[in-house]
A and B are shown apart, each in its own frame.
With several copies, the nearest count.
Chain A
Amino acid sequence: MYQEVILDHYKNPHGRGLRDGDAEVHHVNPTCGDEITLRVKYDGTKIEDVSYEGQGCSISQASASVLNELLVGKDLADAQQIQETFLELMQSKGRVEPDDAMEEVLEDAVAFAGVSKYPARVKCALLSWMAWKDATAQALGSDAAERKTA
């Protein structure tokens, strides 16, 4: 499960720290106490920044770092597609073998494929992504975000 890529992101997280944003959320994984505070900043529908702070296991920390790397600079629609693809991968119970198309979308995030085999850890990997979805809904008005990601 601990791919080199994951460990790299864990040890050298991208974009960590809280910066100015349009909305802030705080998510907790009650079963293990992992926490994240996450802010999003939009420029229209373009993601200007995702900043975050939190504590938790390597999976949840690396996942937030990957999220930052992948989503910052993207248009909302693309970001949502990435989020959905990542969700699908994580809920696959190890049954999805990422193909080229998926790799193209997810880049570093495909390294989490192995985590999907461990139900107890899937929530860790998803923590920041769920926080982002929630923050985005708040920042842009829930309708816009909900309709597309439901």
Chain B
Amino acid sequence: MTQLPGLLDTEALRKDFPILDRQVHDGQKLVYLDNAATSQTPRQVLDVLSEYYEQHNANVHRGVHVLAEEATALYEGARDKVAEFINAPSRNEVIFTKNASESLNLVANMLGWADEPYRVDHETEIVITEMEHHSNIVPWQLLAQRTGAKLKWFGLTDDGRLDLSDIDEVITEKTKIVSFVLVSNILGTVNPVETIIRRAQEVGALVCVDASQAAPHMPLDVQSLQADFVAFTGHKMCGPTGIGVLWGRQELLEDLPPFLGGGEMIETVSMHSSTYAPAPHKFEAGTPPIAQAVGLGAAIDYLSSIGMDKILAHEHALTEYAVKRLAEVPDLRIIGPTTAEERGAAISFTLGDIHPHDVGQVLDEQGIAVRVGHHCARPVCLRYGIPATTRASFYLYSTPAEIDALVDGLEHVRNFFG
């Protein structure tokens, strides 16, 4: 067994994840390397979900019966856990959504309907980057179309990093919002937050950070980050599907208009007009994903009990090992940074001219689950002139042996199509 410094005790941890025992294709052991798409869910989270439904299930807020009080305490308790996890100054800055995409759309829509000084309109500009996930592109394209604002973006360097050489032309006095990804889901790149935020603050633009691939993998401190909004998603961090988070600075959440209207987000309603509850409730219309928020809270407990710094170290060690091993595979080209520095544990590559679909399929036949395609970041594929990539991505339960299996699997792919 390969021993690397900084690895977690995966043998123990893997016992928490029932699915990792699965066999596929008549007896192949599952090697799950699709963690950037979604992570697996530990028993600790599943137990909390079951207990919620079996013991406490009720609609939250305003109930005076025991179950309603319990469900509310659990749901709001999950908000406390999220707030602590990201070091939010206030629990009221944590909004529960259904996924990171909704969180990002929420920001775009708040700004579209806002009054000055936040309002995005035809005289203003929106800045994103070429390595964004579609969920951080399309909401801004829609906003630009619908308001007449201009959409601008940072390009990429050949080695998979943001090209910030024209930062002063891209972010200008007209910029109202800069929205960018902290860790790219396709390239793995960790972006230089500080440089971008400093320039945004100079011109008075708001900053939204897509932390979907960061929150699961490293300590996240929204105060030291200095952004105005931070979005992430539960299913990539050991939580259930159907839950996302938007953190936003309190004074912004107070000033900005609501997005979805309905129960729970109001203060008082008459047929003629309504007033809204204070944040976070203002942005949580309807019955929230209660069990899912509670499950996310349990996932955060789980991650915290391991330690986000330890998870980061584990993945960094794996990434170092993976880039080294992948370099041994002939014709393999990593799309994105080729060293483990300033990169996360999602590694995209091409393999000669074997199409990623074929790579993925033949790996799958060996039990190895990777993702193939444009990974919801098609502009990156266009930028590098490739139709798609194969992506292996690791998490706290991934092992060097799984990387070895991947490398062996790729050898088999090459022989198969050779």
**Chain A residues packing against B (C-beta within 8 Å):** 1-2, 7, 10, 28, 30-35, 55-59, 118-121, 124
Contact = CB atoms under 8 A, between A and B. Distances in A.
B357 A2 contact: no
Contacts of A59: 357-358
A94 to B, nearest CB: 11
Given A32-B388, A56-B387, A119 B69 contact: yes
A44 B266 CA distance: 40
B64 A34 contact: no
A90 to B, nearest CB: 16
Contacts of B64: 118, 120-121
A7 B362 CA distance: 13
A32 B62 contact: yes
Contacts, number: 66
A57 B355 contact: yes
Nearest to A93: B73
Given A58-B417, A118-B64, A120-B62, A30 B268 contact: yes
Interface string B168-197: 000000000000000000000000000000
Interface in B28-65: 61-64
A56 B417 CA distance: 14
Contacts of B356: 32, 57
A53 to B, nearest CB: 14
Interface residues of B, number: 28
Contacts of B358: 57-59
Contact of A2 (B268, B275, B387, B416): B416
B373 A32 contact: yes
Interface of B: 61-64, 68-69, 72-73, 266-268, 275, 277, 355-358, 361-362, 372-374, 378, 381, 387-388, 416-417
B357 A124 contact: yes
Contacts of B388: 32-33
A33 B381 contact: yes
Contacts of A119: 69, 72-73
A17 B344 CA distance: 42
Which A-B residue pairs are the 5 nearest by beta carbons? A33-B387, A57-B357, A57-B355, A30-B267, A30-B268
B54 to A, nearest CB: 23
A59 B387 CA distance: 15
Contacts of B69: 118-120
Contacts of B357: 32, 34, 56-59, 120-121, 124
Given A33-B387, A121-B357, A2 B374 contact: no
Nearest to A61: B355
A70 to B, nearest CB: 22
Contacts of A2: 361-362, 416
Nearest to B63: A120
A32 B356 CA distance: 9
Q: Which of B62, B73, B267, B361 has the largest count of A CB atoms less than 10 A from its CB? A: B361
Contacts of B73: 119
Contacts of A118: 64, 69, 361
B388 to A, nearest CB: 5
Contacts of A57: 355-358
B41 to A, nearest CB: 23
Contacts of A120: 62-64, 68-69, 72, 357
Q: Which of A1, A10, A28, A32 has the largest count of B CB atoms less than 10 A from its CB? A: A32
A15 B378 CA distance: 31
B257 to A, nearest CB: 19
A85 to B, nearest CB: 24
Contacts of A35: 387
Nearest to B359: A57
A55 B387 contact: yes
A29 B231 CA distance: 31
B374 A33 contact: yes
Given A30-B267, A33-B387, A121 B361 contact: yes
Q: Which of A1, A35, A118, A120 has the largest count of B CB atoms less than 10 A from its CB? A: A120
29 contacts: A7-B416, A28-B268, A30-B268, A30-B275, A30-B277, A31-B61, A31-B62, A32-B372, A32-B374, A32-B388, A33-B373, A33-B378, A33-B381, A33-B388, A34-B387, A55-B355, A56-B355, A57-B355, A57-B357, A57-B358, A58-B357, A59-B357, A59-B358, A118-B69, A119-B69, A119-B73, A120-B72, A120-B357, A124-B357
